[in-house]
Chains A and B, each alone.
Chain A
Amino acid sequence: MRKSIKKIVSILLVVVMFTAVISMFGCGKNDPAKVEKVTLRYATHYSTTDPMFAVRNAVIEKFKKDNPNVTIEDENMAATQYHDKLKTEIASDTLPDIFTNWGGSEVYEAVKAKKLMELTEVLDKDTAFKGIFLDGQFKSANLAFKDIEGLYGMPFNNITAGFYYNKDLFDKAGVQIPKTWDELINVVKKLKDTGTIPWAIGGKDGWRVQHLQTALAYKMYGTKLGQDLAERKVKYVDTTVDSFKRIETLRDLGAFGPNPASVDFSLEQNMFMTGKAAMNFSLNVYTSLFESDTSEIKGKVGFFPMPYFSEKPEFKDSVYGGGSVVYSLNSKLTGATKEAAIKLLKAFCGMDGQKEFLKANAIIPVVKITDKIDVQPLQQQFVDQLANAKEFAGDLTERDTLPTMLNKLRNVSVGLLNKQLTAEQAAQEMDKEIELNK
């Protein structure tokens, strides 16, 4: 009897032990702490002086803390180099897992070749996330691709450009904020008479002059011009000579100081921040930089929109701006890596991330923020400009499917500033580029 009891107890002990071991294995499987380790290649384009850079780093740090299983390989470089890197990585099929880009023609071929992940599913699976975006945000031109359905970039920020000006230097010259082009020319002349460089522009970086050209073109022909040029309904030589001529006029007046084509973007900002130049036509993202402690003109900076042409009042509120940077994912991502990349994307484009960037006056958000967030008055004026615009659009070449058009526009704009081309020649070069690539 004793023997059989012993036997039963032994069997029971063995059963209990096995059950315990098996349940331990089971526990391991369901333990949320034991998640798969993933590594994400994350690429962005911010210069270290960009106000977005610090916020971006803070968001990344928080993400790493919240997701200890995710290792982030951080690749950041200035925008000029980033454009080249992006194109090279598209061609060599080595795109990062998650990366910033500007949509449009630059990634058109990659989208066509299915290198970028289609993100509609990400929105549909998370309706709360989908619902936070501003109305019409997904219809932004940089997200629309000719002949291709779907969403290939999650909107991250809107931008717009306007004039920053030094109030002290304006007072010294006895000038008021110009509302029309003629008034602007008058302001330039008077500022020049005081010995100040009227307008800092970094003509060495093509995008600086191209932004100005595009803003002028929209004030002359409205934002539909970009669409018409992309669809080849109109020619550059018939529609853009005027805008190039205005830059010629400013150049010949000495508005940009000596050798503007050899001034790069950082020197441009430096000229304005040290009070050497009175105006700077630039993007909203630099408000916090100009109002920072390192700025010698802190507290003296004002804003005014690009003056309109009195002969074209119908385009008074046609503004250069709109959807800018988007976050895209590599289409090769699967499983846990894909999930982690989506999480990171939401950290930037979602409500929390957007609020952080707004608090730092670094972006015009893409989401509806109802909380009261104190934004610098200067930044608020940019936000209002975009909100009150009759129409707005990004780069003139944004809808063009020919990938070299943006670069060409930048090249000819610099060529014009550097007196290598006349306004007519600059426009002809644009048409020639289309002709060459037919």
Chain B
Amino acid sequence: MLNFKNSKKIIILFLMPALAFYLCLEIYPAFRGIFLSFYKWKGIGGSEFKFYGLNNYFEVFKDPVFLLSIRNLMRFLIVSLITQLPIALLIGYLLSLGLKGTRFFKITFYLPMILSVTAISLLWKLILAANYGLLNSILTSVGLEGLTKAWLTDPSTSFNSIILINSWIHVGFYMVILLAAILGIPEDIFEALKLDGANGVVVFFKIIIPLVREMIGVCIVLIMTQTMKTFDLIYVLTSGTFGPNDINQVPIGLMYYKSFIGDNFGNGSAISTLVLIFGVTISAIVYMKVFKENTSN
């Protein structure tokens, strides 16, 4: 095993390539984006590039589609948290009991995570298609024709469908994290509870949740960052329109639209900066709430 004191140079040397990639592909673009948000630029080399102050931000906040995208994002975040986290925790707990078929269910729940999002989106597009989709066909065949809908274009169901598909994809990932955390709880605690006659519900709420609190915090941060950067799923499900008429628009989609369709990299960068600020703030709050309190406890 390498000793840091003796092998300092070698360790630093090995870290350099990763650090270089991180700086070039993550940190530099982020700061470049912030820089561009103060400029008026069409995103084409040779076109006008002038300082624009905070005007890009003012323009973005004046745009009703941006405000709609923020509302959508908030809904996306809340529904993702209240669906993914409890389901992942519950499944993780059930799988930790070592019941029959655990391996099968573990793989099944995790499967959507290893498939390409584009493939999954196309699959759901076929399931939810209004005129020939599987879901509507099933509903019709069991006499529930009245419940059939244009799931992906009807304003009342469209965005909810997208959120639930996203939850379906990712719940397996958080399940694995939480399962690992549950399995890490010392066995003697469970044995002691068994002797005290505690039932499953008590174990779940009094032991599991408090002891995997840190991992729940990690999952909250991961769910929020994943949700904020969701682009491909919505892009494919809406055939690249984020509509009809922008109803499924999210800030990342609007950033793409403003930059690449609207030739307005200033506006696009302002949106990405706002998303960055929002993401960092929310993550910091969660971190302070979960980890700091845990440390003080």
Q: Which residues of A contact B (CB under 8 A)?
A: 80-81, 84, 87-88, 90-91, 93, 109-110, 112-115, 203-206, 258-259, 261-264, 267, 403-404, 407, 411-412, 414-415, 417-418, 420-421, 432, 436-437
Contact = CB atoms under 8 A, between A and B. Distances in A.
A247 to B, nearest CB: 14
A262 B132 CA distance: 10
B244 interface: yes
A79 B25 CA distance: 31
B47 A261 contact: no
Given A204-B153, A263-B131, A91 B262 contact: no
Nearest to B42: A109
B84 to A, nearest CB: 27
B154 to A, nearest CB: 8
Given A91-B43, A206-B241, A420 B260 contact: no
A80 B244 contact: no
Interface in B237-268: 239-241, 243-247, 257, 259-265
A248 to B, nearest CB: 14
B277 interface: no
A437 B247 CA distance: 21
Contact of A113 (B46, B240, B244, B261): B46
B5 interface: no
Interface of B: 42-47, 59, 62-64, 129-132, 150, 152-155, 239-241, 243-247, 257, 259-265
Nearest to A432: B64
A403 B261 contact: yes
B45 A113 contact: yes
B63 A415 contact: no
A436 B130 CA distance: 34
B261 A404 contact: yes
A261 B261 contact: no
Contacts of A93: 44-45
B150 A262 contact: yes
Contacts, number: 98
Contacts of A414: 241, 243-245
A84 B240 contact: yes
B155 A420 contact: yes
> Which 3 pairs show the lowest CB-CB distances between chains A and B?
A415-B245, A262-B130, A262-B150
B153 A261 contact: yes
A415 B243 contact: yes
24 contacts: A80-B240, A91-B260, A93-B44, A93-B45, A109-B44, A113-B44, A113-B46, A258-B130, A262-B131, A262-B152, A262-B153, A262-B154, A263-B131, A404-B261, A407-B257, A411-B243, A411-B246, A414-B241, A414-B244, A414-B245, A415-B245, A417-B244, A420-B155, A437-B262
A432 B67 CA distance: 15
Given A84-B240, A261-B150, A420 B247 contact: yes
Contacts of A91: 43-44, 259-260, 263, 265
Given A80-B239, A91-B260, A403-B261, A415 B44 contact: no
A13 to B, nearest CB: 61
Contacts of B263: 87, 91, 109, 403
A206 B132 CA distance: 20
Contacts of A110: 44
A206 B155 CA distance: 16
Given A91-B44, A261-B153, A262-B129, A420 B259 contact: no
A113 B130 CA distance: 44
Nearest to A421: B245
A80 B250 CA distance: 20
Contacts of A262: 129-131, 150, 152-154
Given A205-B239, A414-B245, A115 B44 contact: yes
A221 B153 CA distance: 32
Contacts of B129: 262
A84 B47 contact: no
A411 B245 contact: yes
B239 A264 contact: yes
B44 A407 contact: no
Contacts of B261: 84, 87, 403-404, 407
Contacts of B239: 80, 204-205, 264
Contacts of B153: 204, 259, 261-262, 418
B250 to A, nearest CB: 16
A411 B265 CA distance: 21
B252 to A, nearest CB: 15
Contacts of A80: 239-240
Contact of B59 (A403, A404, A436): A436
Contacts of A261: 150, 153, 244
A404 B131 contact: no
A430 to B, nearest CB: 12
A264 B133 CA distance: 13
A370 B166 CA distance: 58
Contacts of B244: 203-204, 261, 411, 414-415, 417-418, 420
Q: Counting chain B CB atoms within 10 Å of each CB, which of A90, A204, A407, A432 scores highest?
A: A204
Q: Counting chain A CB atoms within 10 Å of each CB, which of B44, B45, B129 scores highest?
A: B44
Contacts of A411: 241, 243-246
Contacts of B152: 262
Contacts of B154: 262
Contacts of B45: 93, 113
A263 B247 CA distance: 17
Nearest to A405: B262
A405 to B, nearest CB: 10
Nearest to A86: B260
B262 A403 contact: yes
Nearest to A411: B245
A397 B246 CA distance: 19
Contact of A418 (B43, B47, B155): B155
B150 A90 contact: no
A176 B241 CA distance: 38
A80 B261 CA distance: 12
A436 B63 contact: yes
B232 to A, nearest CB: 13
A328 to B, nearest CB: 15
A436 B62 contact: yes
A80 B236 CA distance: 12
A87 B129 CA distance: 29
Contacts of A417: 244
B79 to A, nearest CB: 21
A400 B209 CA distance: 59
Q: Counting chain A CB atoms within 10 Å of each CB, which of B59, B63, B131, B246 scores highest?
A: B131
